[in-house]
Amino acid sequence: MTAAVVGAALLTGCGSSAGGPEHDWKLPAAERSKWQGELSERWAKLKDWRPEDWDRWAREHVFRNPVVRDLWEPERMTTAEPQQPGPPVTPPAADRDVTGRDLNDPEPSAVQAVPVERPYTRYPASGKVFSTAPGGGTGQCSATVVADPARPGRSNLVWTAGHCVHEGAGGGWFRNLIFVPAYNSSGAASSKKKPTMAEVAPLGQWWADQVISSPQWIAEGGHSGNAANQYDFAVLRVHNPDGDGRSLEETVGTAVPVWFDAPREQLTVSAWGYPSSKPYDGRELNRCDGGRPARLSFDATRPPMLSIGCTMTAGSSGGGWFAVMPNGRTALVSNTSIGNLAHTALNGPYLESVARQALEYVSRKA
């Protein structure tokens, strides 16, 4: 899929330490163990969770993100490190379904990432998430504006990777979490001159006031690829404290629908993001037209991940994977989760019932 096709469709429809108040929260180890034990039996049938189950889960994993004005200055954004778990140290063992079919396809051939044409305000659904870690340090990821099922045309929802908002097993939420749509649209941050805030954030800074990720990522996520990455996604509800009252979607002019349970065999995907590890610097929006995705599985009881050839590196995490639905509209079908050691492939979660429930939960809790 070309940039022009994706852009036209969209326009219609993880450095230096940072200050700020302490507002992360961790579940004590004993309670966390109890909580994981209670949930483990239900994760296999998470599709049966009721709204009150999600309410309880959210109460046990409180996210607080008070606005700290002037924290995210242009220089701090450009020096933030990528939030990215490392790739698997070794490839996952052979994983077979109940019929004996191998769930791990051959690794896709490399596809060279290409720069997206400026200005990025032509593709305003794509942007960057910035954060500070509970122990200090700043981080960056990529993200996408997605449609709110309950508020057509007025969405304040952003889709990214779970590891872009939460440390995973034993950890807490990242702090000072913001979304910047069309980051560095004009290229001002790519020059040697000091860019202005208007140049790096032409559509404003949007602070997260609610975030949800999968129970699997919160309890099992780690610093290298594992089964938790098969549910490595997150949904943010955001607001602009300096805005004019319009929603994110109204401000940027678009929001992408999420296509759950998309038929794998019919998908042709394009992954977008801001890679920031060498040879990239996190200031340029890139894409990989990866074609039909292969499968990557760590746990046969969970949906295999989508896998495409792509040379994007850390920093592209959370970026949207797009495909065209039967109705001709471009939709989000995954997000970048982990790559490989050679930086020739990317992998993203397959979005089905757990992801659908997460989006619906945030939508109804406004």
pLDDT of residue 37: 52
Cis peptide before 106 (omega within 30 of 0): no
* Count of the separate structural domains present in the chain: 1
- Write out the residue range of the structural domain in which residue 166 sits: 3-364
The reply to whether omega before 119 is within 30° of 0 (cis) is yes
Q: Report the pLDDT value the prediction gives residue 25, as an integer from 0 to 100.
A: 34
CA distance 266 to 196: 43
Residue 341 corresponds to which amino acid? L
Digitized pLDDT (tens) for each residue of the chain, 366 residues in all: 333 323 322 222 232 222 222 223 344 444 445 545 555 555 545 666 777 888 887 877 888 888 998 899 998 998 888 876 555 544 555 555 444 455 777 888 889 999 999 999 999 999 999 999 877 788 899 999 999 999 999 999 999 999 999 999 888 899 999 999 999 999 998 876 788 999 999 999 999 999 999 999 998 998 778 899 999 999 999 999 999 999 999 999 999 999 999 999 899 999 999 998 889 988 999 999 978 999 999 988 899 999 999 999 988 999 999 999 999 999 999 999 998 888 899 999 999 999 999 999 999 987
Output the pLDDT for position 95: 59
Q: What is the CATH number of the domain that holds 268?
A: 2.40.10.120
- The HSE-up count of residue 163 (CA atoms within 13 Å, CB side) is 32
pLDDT at 138: 86
Could you tell me which of 295, 270, 223 has the C-alpha nearest to residue 116? Answer: 270
Token representation of residue 132: 């500070």
Sheet strands side by side (includes 269-273): 114-115, 286-291, 269-273, 320-324, 330-335
- What is the pTM (predicted TM-score) of this model? 0.85
Residue 34: which H helix or E strand, with range? helix 29-43
